[in-house]
Amino acid sequence: MKKLLMIAAFGTFMFAGVTGEGHHADHWSYSGNMGPQHWGDIDPKFRMCALGVNQSPIDMDRFVDAKLPKLKITYAGIAKEVVYNGHTIKVTTLGKNEVVIDGKPFMLMQFHFHTPSENKIAGKQFPMEAHFVHKSKDGEYLVIALMFKEGRKNSALQKVLNDLSTEVGKKRMLREMFNPGDFFPRKLDYYRYDGSFTTPPCTEGVRWIVLKNPVEASKEQIAMMHEIMHDNSRPVQPLKARVILK
């Protein structure tokens, strides 16, 4: 059932939406007095949500041309289990799914979704975004962000939807396990920037890779995802002194 996916692409350089998905849904929210503008006050552990200077997501509109190294992705594992955790629809993975950035290997831990997209590209927001969350042995994080646009039915996404429970916290094994790389577009050109988790605790020091080319999902599939997750996107954060490499 294992499948080897070897991907090489040019471009420079990305955890959990990125994510503090371990917290229960009632600890923070996307609206009201527990919404993003209040995250930094909810818990001292979340103070970076208010005080951080390299926060995510962002509107990528300040680009610098860079000679980016090849992006090497070797996914030889599977997407295994799906759960709606009250914040996002998350899929856990199994096996060796590795990305090498800056000469350092990062292992895929999980991927999850946001409707609409959190990051924007030159002001454009997409109807959905997936975050593939990776971690290195020394505890550093990298996220690959993938945008979705309306179009043809997405077969990998449908395998997730087929076994998804709308009950918060109810995990289900995927009957049709698949390689996580099945989501990726053929061309892996990307943008790179330094950012943070997009959910509490908003930890900084996260490498972000945002793929330039979106993939398609049907209007019905995106609507189903949104019906469960609702609007679960943190507003874009100030770019400050950062630039986006392309």
Domain residue limits, the chain: 5-245
Buried b / exposed e over 166-193, threshold 16 CB at 10 Å, is eeeeeeeebeebbbbbbbbeeebebbbb
Percent of the chain with pLDDT over 90: 87
- Of the two residues 245 and 27, the one the predictor is more confident about is 245
At residue 71, the pLDDT reads 86
pLDDT in tens, 8-46: 332 322 333 444 444 344 589 999 999 999 999 999 999
Neighbour tally for 33: CB within 10 Å: 9
Of 9-18, 57-66, 98-107, 220-229, the poorest mean pLDDT is in 9-18
Q: What are phi and psi of 173, to 5 degrees?
A: -75, 140
- Looking at residue 27, what is its pLDDT? 87
- pLDDT computed for residue 11 by the predictor: 31
Listed in sequence order, the residues at least 6 apart from 72 whose beta carbon sits closer than 8 Å to its beta carbon are: 6, 7, 8, 99, 100
Q: What span, in angstroms and rounded, lies between the C-alpha atoms of 191 and 47?
A: 28
Query: Residue 90: what residue type?
Result: K
Instruction: Determine contact, residues 111/93, Cβ cutoff 8 Å.
Output: yes
Of 27, 38, 87, 134, which one is the catalytic site residue?
Answer: 87
Q: 104 - beta bridge partners? A: 101
**For position 67, what pLDDT does the model report?**
85
**Residue 34: DSSP 8-state:** G
User: For 89-119, what is each residue's pLDDT tens digit?
Assistant: 999 999 999 999 999 999 999 999 999 999 9
- 125 closest CA partner among 150, 145, 157, 147: 147
Quickly list DSSP for 176-192: EEE-GGGGS-S---EEE
CATH no. for 5-245: 3.10.200.10
23 is catalytic: no
| CA 111 – CA 92 distance, rounded (Å) | 7
Contact 19, 112 (CB under 8 A): yes
pTM: 0.90
